Chain A
């Protein structure tokens, strides 16, 4: 009984830490965008957490973790309330998984910031938490087909981060770039964020929450094995984050002649996203390499999305959560202590990781694309030119962030 108590407290504390990440996401987004759209972004963060929590309690959780149906989805059990799951009270597991689901939804917000209708976002937020996230989550964490194949995503590089980012990519493509983002010749233009101090504070809050995100996914803290595992995860998580920050700083310094703060902030997040899948089964050295690779790739991914794909992603959500989420998941197959390519494990795990990353991309991007097209064809996804110029704070919410 003592063990259950300790494990439950750990999972609940971790849940609260992950919930705090909502504040981190909100600050990163408003920091990297213009002041006139801050309230809209904050409202979207409130909305996706609130609607997501209710939906996940009503049926999202059971769709993800319910009795397996052909490896595709869980059996829906409305407002399910069993006694125990994974050795802890059901309600502790429910709240932990709820804050994860809300994280996936809120990632999308950054990619489509500053030009998306609030009503469209509301609809989208409900759908991702109700269907898109829980079903692919079931494949990996709920006993579905990818978990049967041995796909490893410990805390959600793919399950949470990539899913949010791929839906965000679809959304950003359909909503289109912000006014003035691309010139008549298609050349990308800078639209600097209005307060990088907010952004940096947000990154540090996310970093703090990530310890709960990754180490909390152990779902237990009692006993020597769990204590060792949690400590290991804290270490790998932090090492990857600092490596990501440093490499993105260095690469940006070479490319832009000066070390860029907003890129370094994204680099820390890239390291965190990258290590999330394998934080439990890679060595500290492996974590540093994953962070370094993620931080380096991040810089080029931001430019690729912006200049080649010409997708306007104001906060780098696609690059950080999508590209580095997929990359980190694939690198599990390379750096895993047991089964990784570089540790004599052959290519089996690597190929499984590749398959899983590809399948989740097709699912999340495909459904996200259909969903945004549907919303565009019905109520519309984008505010008017006048609204966009005035700012969404005044036109959508009738308030201003600074008075």
Chain B
């Protein structure tokens, strides 16, 4: 099992989300976050120019089977890119164990396959 984490531009996330769902990946998490970036952006506020040291990103994570890694990475890369630097950072993590918490029978069962 694999966990993929990615920081995706806010403007591209809808496309990533739609494509993932369309391809059958219907369970994942995301939230708004701010990332410190090497590439700052110039802004003006009331006549004062300043550099943003951080920018908004969607912090996205998904648990998948090993065989789906390439597919998911392709979706993120192809739909999440704008061509600018700092488009995204993707991490792929090998999971040693994963548990599904089920309340119905009160037991935690080791899952082998998602």
Contacts and interface: CB of A to CB of B under 8 A. Distances in A.
Contacts of B45: 190-192, 260, 262
A316 B46 contact: yes
Contacts, number: 36
Contacts of B50: 189-190
A55 B10 CA distance: 53
Interface stretch (A123-131, A229-237, A300-308): A300-308
A302 B44 contact: no
Contacts of A263: 46-47
A256 interface: yes
B58 to A, nearest CB: 22
Category for how many chain B residues contact A: under 10
A125 to B, nearest CB: 26
A316 B45 CA distance: 12
B48 A188 contact: yes
A397 interface: no
Interface string B43-68: 11111111000000000000000000
A317 interface: no
Nearest to A301: B47
26 contacts: A188-B48, A189-B50, A190-B43, A190-B44, A190-B48, A190-B49, A252-B47, A255-B47, A256-B44, A256-B47, A256-B49, A258-B44, A260-B44, A260-B45, A260-B46, A262-B45, A262-B46, A263-B47, A299-B47, A302-B47, A303-B47, A306-B46, A306-B47, A307-B47, A307-B48, A316-B46
Top-6 shortest CB links A-B: A190-B45, A256-B44, A190-B48, A190-B50, A303-B47, A192-B45
Interface of B: 43-50
Interface of A: 188-192, 252, 255-258, 260, 262-263, 299, 302-303, 306-307, 316
